[in-house]
Amino acid sequence: MNISSANTAVQVLGEKLPFPLKRLASLAYNYWWSWTSDRIALFQTIDPQVWERCGHNPVEMLHSATYERLTQLAEDPYYLKQIGSLVREFDEYMSTKDTWVSRVAPQITQEHPIAYFCAEFGIHESLPVYSGGLGILAGDHLKSASDLGVPMVGVGLLYRQGYFRQRLNRGGWQEDYYVDNPFSQMPMELMRNWHGEPITIQLQVRQRMVRVQIWRVQVGRVSLYLLDSDRQDNDPIDRWLTGHLYGGNQETRIAQEVVLGIGGVKALTALGIQPSVHHLNEGHAAFSTLEVARQEIERTGKSFYDIEADVRNRCVFTTHTPVPAGHDVFSPDLIDSFFAHYWTQLRLSRQQFLALGARRLGDPWEPFGMTVLALRMCRAANGVSELHGHVSRKMWTILYPQRSEDKVPIGYITNGVHAPTWTAPLMAELYAQYLGEDWKTRVIDPKTWEKVDNIPNEELWWRHLVLKERLIAYTRYKVKKAREQRGEQYQIIQAAETLLDPKVLTIGFARRFSPYKRGHLLLRDAERAMRIFGNAQRPVQIIFAGKAHPADEEGKRIIQRLMEWCQHSAIQHRVAFIEDYDIYVGQKLVQGVDVWLNNPRRPLEASGTSGQKVCFNGGINCSVLDGWWCEGYKADANGQGINGWAIGEDAHTSDQDLQDSIDAQSLYKLLEEQIVPLYYDQDANGTPHGWVQMMKASIKTNAPLFNTDRMIADYVSQVYVPEIATRVGPILAKVLV
């Protein structure tokens, strides 16, 4: 398929800009700009108020800016110098051929890249096609793949309204609403052929043919292709197939997964892309394996079982869900309505097709499982932490009756985060000063982080305090704005101006408000919690953020209880809830809190990454030993935490209510006996040296392990090109330099 290079969105935007500013257009259309503060400032400087109003979207920013303001910048020598410097950096980044992957795994080529499928991608708040951890992980995966030069394309869905927006009413109840995404004003481009027409694919969904168009988002060197069914030549119902992320009923869910999986493979074919590996990030994309098989059958004329091994060799799978109930399953009747036309193209009978997704063969009522399909059709599978690998092997032993549990072929690669995205500018500048200007290219090397000890305690502490002040100022702004929108009384609105105190120990808790994450564990003993947070000499404060799924009534009730707690007269100035959690809110939180709290029920946190982001900013984790924290937490010979704290590590029970009580008591005890005293043990200048030592330990022990550079290197050597594992493993840290 020939793809047009004329009249691109970049060129159209560039023509509107004064000559000295034209390269801003190409920068705006590549999310490389989002990874460091100096690049973001290039757009924010144009008009800070418009930047805020347009959701930090540089394309809309440039379209909205007045020509007078643009010409004013075009004659500003300092601004032009900034553009010139960043353009040179960008051009060098995009054109370099000598990358880590080119040296270590030249088998992965641009002609045959890795295709990374995911239902959501969290690249930046200006591209709201994500809901939470899975999407943020996928976005960071692409960014580090770009940094390391891994030839990769992402495949996802472009949601007209994305995940829901959140507001809380005066009763503290979550209200859900949606906003249309202005695609034409976003940093992405509709793929067109040489005739200027959108490149489309067709696929049968239910009993209708649906046409899907393809948008490209550039993430550094990686292209992310998003599929969009919102076309006038589609049935009105089908136009909404890509309307909402995780919305609708089971029919909507399976239809979206058909578009993502089958449509995603078709889209790559239409674009002339021939992947060497199809990486399914969670089971939502499992149908892609069937379309790879169908195309191979069509090409070779062979049977499904003749080409099955070849298809499996080209597909790999990452599972993120530690409980059976969290995996997508569809009834046989629903499969019939969507695939009766399709299994004949695979030269399979209905029974043979259903068996691909059945945990127990021979049961006519057995639902069709997407994770089961992925495990059967992929040559490699992995969980996202060491513990999650164990949990997954135990969960899926039923598929491998001839193997012992420890031999079930599901490994693990622990998740990480993209350091440049999540490290605050003040901390990044500090690292450049003490770790070396090139620290971002050496995040995987423990020796890089040993130099953190050279940072003076006072220097690290004052920067942390500045970041905390910024977080508190932002929290006040958001809370005041929410109170105004709710029509609260004037004095309540004004009270937001003095909400929280930068000198007080500050805890952050931000995640999806699913009941198993226990967002209300702190309230288990309300009186004891009140004593901790309301202590006049050594107070504690906490900032909450997060959404409950629209269908999760229990999750909404948890938020409501927290909002009621926020209004208690004794602590109302110590507790805040930031509405409409997104990437920007998340950045401010992980960069500014003293302690990051995470208290899910074991072992339901597959990995988690928010606590990893905190480490890059000197924050300290207080968490249940679940997910990544099982690997990150370090204790001394006496069981005292060196780089953070572990909640409830001494007692485990299957009684959930009893476990909640045990963990709550453990958390209160940690706060009262360890966390609060350590924080308030400060010298005459206000520096808590013991606390700062733990901050340094948090950085040193976690930063080199829990980053996506290490994670991508593991995927390359263990999953994408496993034959290089023995050669890469011992020298991994060195070859990334």
Structural domains of the chain in order of their starting residue, each with its CATH number: 9-95 (no CATH), 106-327+371-412 (3.40.50.2000), 455-694 (3.40.50.2000)
Residue written as token pair 């305090």:
465
Separation in Å, CA 276 to CA 273, 295, 316, 336, 487: 10, 15, 11, 31, 56
With the CA atoms of 448, 583, 246 and 288 taken in that order, what torsion angle do they form, in degrees rounded to the nearest 10? Answer: -40
Find the helix packing angle between 37-44 and 77-95, rounded to 10°.
130
**What's the rounded Cα separation, in Å, for the pair 424 and 421?**
8
CB atoms inside a 10 Å sphere around CB 1:
11
pLDDT of residue 152: 98
Mean pLDDT of the chain: 94
Contact of 270 with 315, CB cutoff 8 Å: no
pLDDT of residue 6: 45
Q: What tokens were used for 576?
A: 């805040």
Split at pLDDT 50, 70, 90, the class of 728 is low
Average pLDDT on 650-665 reads 86
pLDDT of residue 354: 96
Contact of 436 with 442, CB cutoff 8 Å: yes
**What's the rounded Cα separation, in Å, for the pair 730 and 463?**
36
Q: Which residues contact 453 (CB under 8 A, 6 or more apart)?
A: 696, 700
* pLDDT tens figures, 250-286: 999 999 999 999 999 999 999 999 999 999 999 999 9
Average pLDDT on 370-397 reads 97
Split at pLDDT 50, 70, 90, the class of 363 is confident
Closest CA to 14 of 66, 59, 72: 59
Least confident of 9-23, 352-366, 434-448, 590-604: 352-366
Residue 449 has pLDDT above 50, yes or no: yes
Residue 163 has pLDDT above 80, yes or no: yes
**What's the rounded Cα separation, in Å, for the pair 540 and 500?**
10
Split at pLDDT 50, 70, 90, the class of 731 is very low
Amino acid identity of residue 621, one-letter, is N
Separation in Å, CA 356 to CA 343, 373, 374: 11, 6, 9
Average pLDDT on 324-350 reads 93
Q: Which residues contact 544 (CB under 8 A, 6 or more apart)?
A: 509, 510, 519, 562, 575, 576, 577, 578
Contact of 199 with 4, CB cutoff 8 Å: no
Split at pLDDT 50, 70, 90, the class of 2 is low
Residue 735 has pLDDT above 50, yes or no: no
Average pLDDT on 47-72 reads 95
Reported in sequence order, the residue ranges of 517-570 that DSSP labels E, i.e. its strands, are 540-545
Residue 654 has pLDDT above 90, yes or no: no
Average pLDDT on 32-48 reads 93
Average pLDDT on 454-464 reads 98
